Amino acid sequence: MSVTDLIPAQTSSAMTDPFGRRISYLRVSVTDRCDLRCFYCMSEDMTFLPKADLLTLEELDRLCSAFIARGVTKLRLTGGEPLVRRNVMGLVRSLSRHLKTGALKELTLTTNGSLLSKYADELADCGVKRINVSLDTLDATKFKTITRWGDISKVMAGIDAAQAAGIAVKINAVALKNLNEDEIPALMEWAHGRDMALTLIEVMPMGDIGEGRIDQYVPLSLLRSRLANNYTLTDLSDDTGGPARYVRVAETGGKLGFITPMTHNFCESCNRVRITCTGTIHTCLGHEDASDLRKPLRASTDNDLLNATIDRAIGTKPKGHDFIIDRRNNRPSVSRHMSVTGG
């Protein structure tokens, strides 16, 4: 059976958590595997899930479609690195049918960019209008240090291909103490010079990476105050459905975002849930909460059991996370790696 042969998900009621927040944004990890090994994300000798444990592409399609029928209007595919999943473009093309019906307003993905030059044209043809590319430095040597073996020229070629295909690119950069924090102004000016927004992200205490987080962590409040010494930053009310808060930089004309799970979590407006490549739903990035959607998905050809499980999971969504990084808590707040949860 091909992905496009699937029966459309049944229409059902919208999803609202215990705090009245309507769930309209779904992030789905299609694989925990990645072709890079960024040191703040995973250990060098990562043990990945057996491929047999992953949902099939057909199951991922059905699961996403069920959430779209329940009111999800923004769908982001993540990993690991989503583009390393074999035949992933078949899933993207199938899901694009929801863009054509208007049920889905945006289909997008987060990528490290290393394979983007191969898929940019097809992504654009599937209706993907913007993507996030993770890039923490413009220095080739630093890039190899951060990713352990990555080639920055492949990422740059991917960004070129995406923009040539008409896809808007936003750069995501994790702020890393004593590594790239002094490079942020140059990274921002480069991104804005290419008509790309830049979003800075604080290190998050997820998964055992073989070392503590305290020596990596830079509060973005500190970086913002440094930038404000040389740039005019004006707060914007832009809401892209994610956790970033944006400013306009007068000198470059570009947008700069801050994702601050440690210093200010913005959980009060969270409209997101995440699903792993094994079909586990996490309603909060910073909690160990988990519900298995794979079992009800496989137990019946209709979505009654699946929807009931989704409702129970949404009913446990917490008000906010409790990430902590300090000398007394220099350990993961949650045991799972970001590559498993989906970025």
Closest CA to 334 of 204, 218, 177, 200: 204
**13 annotated as a binding-site residue:** no
Contacts of 103 (CB under 8 A, 6+ apart): 68, 69, 73
**267 annotated as a binding-site residue:** yes
Strand partners, 199: 172, 257
**270 annotated as a binding-site residue:** yes
**40 annotated as a binding-site residue:** yes
**134 annotated as a binding-site residue:** yes
- Cβ burial, residue 184 (10 Å; 0-12/13-18/19+): buried
**273 annotated as a binding-site residue:** yes
**76 annotated as a binding-site residue:** yes
Starting at the edge strand that comes first in sequence, how are the strands of the sheet with 291-292 ordered?
A: 233-235, 245-249, 255-259, 197-201, 168-174, 130-134, 106-111, 74-78, 25-29, 272-275, 280-282, 291-292
**274 annotated as a binding-site residue:** yes
Contact (CB, 8 A) for 279 and 297: yes
**295 annotated as a binding-site residue:** no
**64 annotated as a binding-site residue:** no
**74 annotated as a binding-site residue:** no
Rg (CA), the chain: 19
**248 annotated as a binding-site residue:** no
**Omega into 71 within 30° of 0, i.e. cis?**
no
Following DSSP, what letter does each residue of 21-64 receive, concatenated? -B--EEEEES-S--S---TTTS-TT--PPPGGGSPPHHHHHHHH
Give the annotated binding-site residues for S-adenosyl-L-methionine: 40, 80, 134, 204
Give the annotated binding-site residues for GTP: 27, 76, 110, 170, 272-274
Give the annotated binding-site residues: 27, 34, 38, 40-41, 76, 80, 110, 134, 170, 204, 267, 270, 272-274, 284
Give the annotated binding-site residues for [4Fe-4S] cluster: 34, 38, 41, 267, 270, 284
